[in-house]
Amino acid sequence: MKHFLRLFYVLIFVSSAEIVSAQNISSIIDGSSNQEAFWSVTVRDDAGRILESLNSEKAIIPASNQKLITTAAILDHFGSDFRYQTNIYGEGELSGDTWNGNLVIKGSGDPSISGDLYDDDRFYVFNLFLEQLQDQGIRKIEGNLIADVSLFDEQVYPKGWDWYDFSFYYGVQISPLSFNNNAVDLEVFADGEIGEKPRITWFPDSTDYVEFINEQVITNPNIDYDEYYRRELGGNRIVLGSTLPQGYYEDESLSIDNPPMFFLDSFKKFLHKNGIELDGFLVVSDKKREVSSLKVLATHSSKPLSELVKWTNKESDNFYTEMMTKTLSADVSGQPGTFDHGIEEVRNFLFGMGVDTAFVQMNDGSGMAGGNFNKTSIISNVLAKFQDHSDFDAYFNSMSVAGIDGTLQHRMKGTPLYNNFKGKSGFVTGVRTLSGYFEPKSGNRIIVSIAANNYISEKVRPIDAVHEQILMYLYNKY
């Protein structure tokens, strides 16, 4: 009997070993619940050689994995030490404590005039401007506050963005002069009685630049939260129609119309609150002003591009991506930056890396637009080749770290991939992508790009589980 049991356990062990050894990427996908999905996978070693592939030469929708391509091109052009500089110029002269003349704020394309990189201090840059104006002795401005937005053309959305997204922080308008990511930050407190409207506040300081139509209702605590926000196209009237269970708290960043006017309006109110009066109009001008002879009254240099790219990729920020894409266009052409030309420059970067761009279709830089196509073989190839770039450290450090931060903060915990896989996730309806770097058991870095397209479920967890099964298979094999 003991010999029989020993033989039985040996057979079980051998059988299990055969199952493990027989497992491959195809068998993992074949065992997944979303059999309608189309999968593409490319795995490369540190030198860029393909180790494994599945449908790697088929076109896929990359979603936000497109940001990996765009940010690589931006780092290649500007370098990781590049800083945006936004200046306030004075047209006129100082008399006593009054500036007689206009103030011109020249938009530089800086996406970070917000709290993102300044410990959530959303007035950080405004405070710097205020201090410099005060240091000049200015307490009153007898003139207009002018936004020079000539750096970009007038197209505020990339081609292919869905109008449904225009109400939200991930679908904001793009302008060379922007504040608070071109959004107002709404807070909703369902602390009243059932049937009443919840209390709302918003930043900046409950500004009247937007008009909220609060049609929300507090419901029974056992009823799920149901979100509804809509900003009217071409205006700043925002309808709130959510139902919130009693005691619920909700916050949401909602887009505004006309970002440079929003900047001016917010800055004027900020100056007024802090003791500088403006006796003039707010003017948005797309005419390029000759500023070489004007006095710089205040200036702000952004954090280095490495920090902006880190925010972009870790947080998958569409706004930052499109702002930098247009800045790339303006810098190369010397003309107002456009989405189309910025994308063309990204494609030129790919061509310079030896990529056949006939298989790269880009309607935006961020990957949210419809009509974007790529290949996992191309995405992984860029990741491999960029390892030799002088700005690779900035690029690598911009990746989300599994289980630690960014869009991968809650993924791969409790596995050897935790704090190991560094990369970028992507999501649009029916699409889930993941590309990046990690060290398998051997300790030799491998590069992977995985795309699931055309799945039907609204839930991403089953797809994410397959991603992680594939990564664990690679971890153990290599």
CATH classification of the domain holding 455: 3.40.710.10
Within 10 A of 74 (CB to CB), how many other CB atoms are there? Answer: 31
C-alpha 56 chain-centroid distance: 26
Q: Model pTM?
A: 0.94
pLDDT for position 23:
81
One domain for residues 206 and 312: no
Strands 431-438 and 446-453, sheet pairing: antiparallel
Print the domain residue range for 203: 85-301
Is 228 part of a structural domain of the chain? yes
432 with 467: CB under 8 angstroms?
Answer: yes
Is 3 part of a structural domain of the chain? no
What angle, rounded to 10 degrees, do the helices at 124-135 and 259-273 form? 60
One domain for residues 229 and 361: no
Number of domains in the chain: 2
One domain for residues 46 and 182: no
One domain for residues 288 and 144: yes
The 3 state secondary structure assigned to 298-309 is EEEECCCHHHHH
Mean per-residue pLDDT, 289-300: 94
Is 22 part of a structural domain of the chain? no
One domain for residues 225 and 269: yes
One domain for residues 192 and 286: yes
| Residues 6+ positions from 238 with CB-CB distance below 8 Å | 167, 210, 211, 212, 213, 229, 230, 231, 232, 254
Among residues 425, 475, 205, the alpha carbon closest in space to that of 313 is found at 425
One domain for residues 121 and 57: no
Is 166 part of a structural domain of the chain? yes
Which of 234, 268, 301 delimits the end of a domain? 301
> Tokens representing 323?
């702002």
Is 246 part of a structural domain of the chain? yes
pLDDT for position 5:
41
pLDDT digits (tens, 9 = 90+) for 73-116: 999 999 999 999 999 999 999 999 999 999 999 999 999 999 99
One domain for residues 176 and 259: yes
Which of 301, 328, 349 delimits the end of a domain? 301
pLDDT for position 458:
83
One domain for residues 262 and 207: yes
Helical ranges in 334-407 per DSSP H? 339-352, 376-385, 392-397
One domain for residues 51 and 147: no
Is 312 part of a structural domain of the chain? yes
Query: Exposed e or buried b for every residue in 107-132, given b needs 16+ CB within 10 A?
Result: bbbbbbbbbbbbeeebbbbbebbbeb
pLDDT digits (tens, 9 = 90+) for 416-431: 999 999 999 999 999 9
Q: ∠ CA 41-451-326 to the nearest 5 degrees?
A: 120
Mean per-residue pLDDT, 213-219: 98
Among residues 187, 164, 161, the alpha carbon closest in space to that of 174 is found at 161
179 with 114: CB under 8 angstroms?
Answer: yes
Is 14 part of a structural domain of the chain? no
How does the average pLDDT of the chain come out, rounded? 94
Sign of the CA dihedral running 29, 33, 36, 38? negative
50 with 471: CB under 8 angstroms?
Answer: no
Is 139 part of a structural domain of the chain? yes
Helical ranges in 136-287 per DSSP H? 259-273
